[in-house]
Amino acid sequence: MSIAHQRRKQPGRVRQQLLEVAARLSFEQGAAGVTLDAVSQAAGVSKGGLLHHFPNKMALLDGLFDDLIGKLDQTIAEEMRNDPVAHGRFTRAYLSSVFALQDEADAQGWQVLTIALLSEPHLRARWRQWVADRAGEHGGTDSSTGCLLARLAADGLWLADLLKSHDIDQPMRHEMRARLISLSQQ
């Protein structure tokens, strides 16, 4: 029995499903495996349905970027609300988010997006803008050298996790996180 009639009533759900399938295909097959035909087929959505949400591959990558950045912003905002110390608050929230990426359901999406960031100038520009916006927004509390160093180290960990270039056990990760948090407090 077809569920197409149910999906039309839930466009947000279909859009999210398409993003998840695109992330999975990219993770399994690389960026070349993310074609509109492959995504629509794997998601069980007509190509017209896919094109309704994402008219081309770049729109699909932009959608994935928007989805993941939205979740990152939400996670950071939640972490910041729970941190009573203003100095370095954004940095500590960013650290928590990056350290949690390894364990989150969105880890695969972030892996795909990170690879796309490296190869797509348009996405790199969007990431640079996100970083610049946050630096401007939190410059009064997170502009110290220690905060910048902590965020850059977290980005290095993010890349190491993506590439699986280092075997870092949980005790070492906890120690690394603690040291980076101490940098954000200087």
Pick the CATH number of 1-55 from 1.10.3470, 1.10.10, 2.60.40, 1.10.4160: 1.10.10
* pLDDT tens profile 38-72: 899 998 888 888 899 999 988 988 888 898 899 89
Is the Cβ–Cβ distance between 125 and 61 less than 8 Å? no
Query: What are the extents of the domains in the chain?
Result: 1-55, 68-184
Rounded Cα distance between 82 and 107, Å, is: 23
Task: Give pTM, 2 decimals.
Answer: 0.82
The angle formed by the CA atoms of residues 32, 160 and 98, to the nearest 5 degrees, is 95
Picking from 106-115, 127-136, 139-148, 157-166, which range would have the lowest pLDDT averaged per residue? 106-115
CA distance 154 to 150: 6
Percent of the chain residues past pLDDT 70, beyond the cut = 91
Q: How confident is the model at residue 186 (pLDDT cuts 50, 70, 90)?
A: confident
Neighbours of 67 (CB within 10 A): 18
How high is the mean pLDDT of the chain? Answer: 87
Which residues are CB-contacts of 160 (< 8 A; sequence separation ≥ 6)?
166, 168
pLDDT tens for residues 145-179?
999 999 999 999 988 888 889 999 999 999 999 99
